[in-house]
């Protein structure tokens, strides 16, 4: 179990570094992928921190995951609104 938790922590750290590099170097081109990398990386690190009872780091990563989830939700909601407006335009009363 300890080995899996350690691997989870290292993989999570790697995902966060990749997400940061993608968003820094490529800008908006791959930002969609960076959001998911942030979410899954944060979850993996949070599991590791919880296992080792590192509660401040655990809390920070849970907050990180909440922020990532919120940005993914906001992006999906915006995309859905565009699609809905395209296929179901509002009728103007007049």
DSSP structure class, residue 89: P
Residue at 93 is within a domain: no
- Regarding predicted confidence, which is higher, 86 or 39? 39
Global pTM value: 0.82
Looking at the structure of the chain, the number of domains it has is 1
Residue 32 and residue 61: Cα distance in Å, rounded?
Answer: 20
Residue at 78 is within a domain: yes
Tell whether 94 is covered by a domain: no
The answer to whether position 62 is within a domain reads yes
Tokens of 77: 């909601």
Q: Each residue of 42-64: pLDDT tens digit? A: 999 999 999 999 999 999 999 99
Alpha-helical segments (H) within the chain: 2-25, 31-51, 55-87
Structure tokens at 51: 């296992």
pLDDT, one tens digit per residue, over 3-30 is 999 999 999 999 999 999 998 887 788 8
State phi, psi for 83 to the nearest 5 degrees: -65, -45
Give the structural domain span for 72. Answer: 2-87
């Amino acid at each position: 179990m300890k080995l899996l938790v350690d691997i989870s922590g290292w993989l999570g750290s790697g995902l966060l570094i990749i997400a940061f590099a993608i968003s820094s170097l490529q800008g908006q081109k791959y930002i969609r992928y960076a959001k998911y990398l942030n979410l899954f990386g944060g979850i993996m690190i949070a599991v590791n921190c919880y296992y080792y009872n590192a509660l401040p780091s655990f809390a920070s990563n849970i907050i990180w995951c909440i922020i990532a989830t919120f940005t993914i939700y906001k992006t999906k909601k915006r995309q859905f609104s565009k699609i809905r407006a395209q296929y179901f335009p509002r009728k103007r009363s007049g």
